[in-house]
Amino acid sequence: METVSRREVLIGSAAVLVAAGRVRPAYAQAAPPSAGTADTALVEDLVAANRILVDQGVVDAYGHVSVRHDKAADRYLMSRSIAPELVTAADIMEYDLDSVPVDPRGRALYLERFIHGEIYRVRPDVRAVVHNHSPSVIPFGATGVPLRPLYHMSAFLWPGVPVFEIRSAGGAATDMLVRTLALGQALAKTLGAGPVALMRGHGAVVVGGSLPEAVFRSVYTEVNARLQAQAMALGGSVTYLDTEEAKKAQASVAGTIGRPWELWKRKALATLPGK
């Protein structure tokens, strides 16, 4: 009979516990090094973005927004797990692309932070990511009716809006949350090179080349979904922007994003304590 050492027993037991999800392996607990202190203005914009998305009806107590770190492409900034309207600069945390926090200090983390890390990993053009449960987009993720640009402010939707089906990536037993690296990777794959992807029965993910752009797209994706549903309910034929119209409208509107951002940011930061 083969003799099994105590060390082998301990190693085997640890492996079983890790597989069962009761113990995290040591490498998953190690905090990555910091990329350095993020630019103060960038942090302020991230705080503002959280509050703007609430004010514009895109998020409520749920949802989150992140921005790529200004000093390292393999780091991003996002708040601890808290309602977006309550976010302050003190809540902003740094994460690596595996979505491991640099300085957790026991703070609660968003379960779906993997959405952000995996998109930043494969989309070097993306500087900001929004995940929301924007109410008007939910039906388009659940019915098979495609979300299409209805007017010039949402012209950025012209490439098409794919729908992420979590059952295809995680099987039928998920809780609908993108709570693992693998699910984050699958969502990033569905998003592809586009600006928006819907998440069936859940919400949407929206990206941009800057925080103002990602916020703008999030707001007008919600508005477009609402208007499209209204137009379809009238019962007539709906005329959408064609590709060339949409491309030209997108280029025109892109130069004006600073206008709503300045307004939204001023209103959002006015609600901060001490302002």
Going by the DSSP 8-state scheme, the letter that residue 199 receives in this structure is: E
CA distance 71 to 92: 15
Is 112 a residue of the active site?
yes
φ and ψ at residue 235, rounded to 5 degrees: 90, -5
Please, where are the H alpha helices in 24-65?
A: 26-29, 40-55
Q: How many helices (H) and strands (E) does the chain have?
A: 10, 7
Q: How far apart are CA 152 and CA 224, in angstroms?
A: 10
Catalytic residue among 2, 44, 85, 112: 112
Full strand arrangement of the beta sheet holding 64-68: 92-96, 75-79, 64-68, 128-132, 203-208, 196-199, 163-164
Answer for the pair 61, 83: CB distance below 8 angstroms, yes or no: yes
Over its C-alpha atoms, the chain yields an Rg (Å, rounded) of 21
Q: What φ, ψ does residue 168 adopt, rounded to 5°?
A: -70, -30
| Cα 206 from Cα 217, distance rounded (Å) | 7
Task: Please identify every residue annotated as catalytic.
Answer: 112
